Amino acid sequence: MDANVLSDREIEVLRLVGQGKSNKEIAMDLDISVNTVKVHVSNIYQKIGVSSRTEATLFAIENGVVNPALPQDDRPIPSEGLTDVRTTDTVKHLGRNTILLLALLGASIVAIVLFLVIRHNTTDTSNSSLMVNFSAKDRWVAYNPLPSPRSDIAAVTYESQIFTIGGNLNDGVSGSTEVFSQTENVWTSLEDKPTPVSGATAILIGERIFVPGGKTADGKVTDNLEVFDPRHSVWEEKANLPIGLSNYGLAAFEGKLYLFGGWAGSQPSDSVYYYDPDQDAWSEISKLPYPSTTVLAVQIENRIVITGKTEQESSETFLLSYYPNRDEPGDNPWEEGTPIPIMGDVSCFFNLLETLYAVVNDGNTTDFLVYDEQKKDWESIGQNDALLSQNTQCAIIGGELFLIGGTNANGAPSDQLLGYKMIYSISLPSIVN
């Protein structure tokens, strides 16, 4: 298959996709609507036989649609601030921008290689030695613990730091907002959340952290939407949820917030809500096929994947893909996937390099699983009997997964912070003597 199957406009769109631009950016560059871009992208995927932007980018590179040639820059490199570096004659004639572009190109190559390695390892069941193996003890790191033991907290990453919000204490519910620096291994306290909650989820949109709903100290669910500005450590209130909810699934897609199911105070919810930060308004959209009290959600490419239990006391789970761009009258935005096979609590549900992972606790063992998109099936990639996984929150910085807080064997909140190095860094040769 080559690029000849594409129209001139589709090649333009593919070139911009290969440059890492979003649909909105492509629409602005080509002076067309975002919906038109979405149609072009969908047609491109179908014509060249791919299902993701990563695969489309690889196709564009292989077929010369994206030109890796670097622009010339003859500006001299300033000598100030450069110490202990001797360049070759060739590098002396390169501009600063060229060197930066080379570095970025190298980083992109590493990312693509990592993606292909992980994808190969997670889809080839004949290879029992997977790159991501959570049984590898040497990849686990114990960091400085949480300032206070908590479970059911909300956590999100921003600028390579972990922000934790709220959670259950031994004697109540917390409103604490704290930030963890991985590089310094230090926790810092910030402005408390106005409404202390547990069972809430945090999501980053732009440079603000959105935390809707949750369960208060009296056990009731709240409909509050409170937004944190990490740059200034300030909270503000926004439009309330249509109903009070906790333990819902939450994901961001194209700058908007999507909320799925959860506990409505007296019964599980099947509602799906859409929040537009620019309008500060909620709207109800297509309902879940299954009401669920505990839902986890993660965005992958052009969809949001969610998992949860089919009923309040059920051990059966579901896996659904929700396509926001298909949520229109006459179209079905849902696709069924293979449920997580292990009966237990799903503590973590996350996306790394467009691959879906789950962390499940069955009461005795913590299981780590990866989803094979081609086979539509789950595969175990490790177990750990010692990890806290019940009511644990997860966060990712780079290629490292963090398990935050949770409950211990006695059901008490924990202050544990564990990191697992899913991907090791790869160093590229320097352009120096």
Q: State pLDDT tens for residues 378-399.
A: 998 888 776 655 778 999 988 8
Q: Say yes or no: 119 and 141 in one domain.
A: no
Structure tokens at 367: 């299981």
- Of the residues 93, 123, 153, which one is the last residue of a structural domain? 123
Q: For residue 241, which amino acid is it? A: L
- Of the residues 61, 88, 123, which one is the last residue of a structural domain? 123
Q: Say yes or no: 107 and 224 in one domain.
A: no
pLDDT band at 258 (very low <50, low <70, confident <90, very high): very high
pLDDT band at 282 (very low <50, low <70, confident <90, very high): very high
**Residue 107 predicted with pLDDT over 60:** no
Q: Is residue 53 part of a domain?
A: yes
Burial classification of residue 161, based on how many CB atoms lie within 10 Å of its CB (0-12 exposed, 13-18 middle, 19 or more buried): middle
Q: Is residue 427 part of a domain?
A: no
β-sheet bridge partners, residue 253: 256
| CA 356 to each of CA 108, 122, 201, 233, 340: distance values in angstroms, whole numbers, following the listed order | 21, 10, 19, 32, 11
Q: Is residue 132 part of a domain?
A: no
pLDDT at 83: 31
Q: Say yes or no: 347 and 203 in one domain.
A: yes
pTM: 0.70
Number of structural domains the chain divides into: 2
Q: What is the number of alpha carbons within 13 Å of residue 231 lying toward its C-beta?
A: 4
Would you mind telling me the total number of residues written for the chain in this entry?
Answer: 433
pLDDT at 205: 94
Over residues 265-277, the pLDDT tens digits come to 989 999 999 999 9
Q: Say yes or no: 313 and 172 in one domain.
A: yes
Q: What is the mean pLDDT of residues 190-207?
A: 96
Over residues 319-336, the pLDDT tens digits come to 999 999 998 888 889 999
Q: Say yes or no: 56 and 200 in one domain.
A: no
Over residues 288-311, the pLDDT tens digits come to 988 888 899 999 989 999 998 876
End-to-end, the C-alpha distance of the chain in Å comes to 43
Q: Is residue 251 part of a domain?
A: yes
pLDDT at 45: 87
Nearest C-alpha neighbor of 414 from the set 383, 395, 390: 390
Q: What is the number of alpha carbons within 13 Å of residue 132 lying toward its C-beta?
A: 32
Q: Say yes or no: 29 and 162 in one domain.
A: no
Q: Say yes or no: 294 and 381 in one domain.
A: yes
Nearest C-alpha neighbor of 39 from the set 7, 66, 1, 4: 7
In CATH, what number is assigned to the domain containing residue 24?
1.10.10.10
In CATH, what number is assigned to the domain containing residue 307?
2.120.10.80
CA-to-CA distance for 87 and 93, rounded, in angstroms?
10
Q: Say yes or no: 175 and 224 in one domain.
A: yes
Q: Is residue 128 part of a domain?
A: no
Element (H, E) at 17: helix 8-18
Q: Say yes or no: 108 and 161 in one domain.
A: no
Nearest C-alpha neighbor of 228 from the set 191, 176, 254: 191
Q: Is residue 431 part of a domain?
A: no
Q: Say yes or no: 64 and 114 in one domain.
A: yes
Q: Say yes or no: 43 and 159 in one domain.
A: no
CA-to-CA distance for 234 and 198, rounded, in angstroms?
20
Q: Say yes or no: 266 and 334 in one domain.
A: yes
- Of the residues 123, 151, 172, which one is the last residue of a structural domain? 123
pLDDT at 19: 84
Q: Is residue 249 part of a domain?
A: yes
* Domain with 147 in it: 137-421
Over residues 200-215, the pLDDT tens digits come to 999 999 999 999 999 9
**DSSP state letter for 72:** P
pLDDT at 313: 58
pLDDT over 90 percentage in the chain: 44
**DSSP state letter for 432:** -
Q: Is residue 289 part of a domain?
A: yes
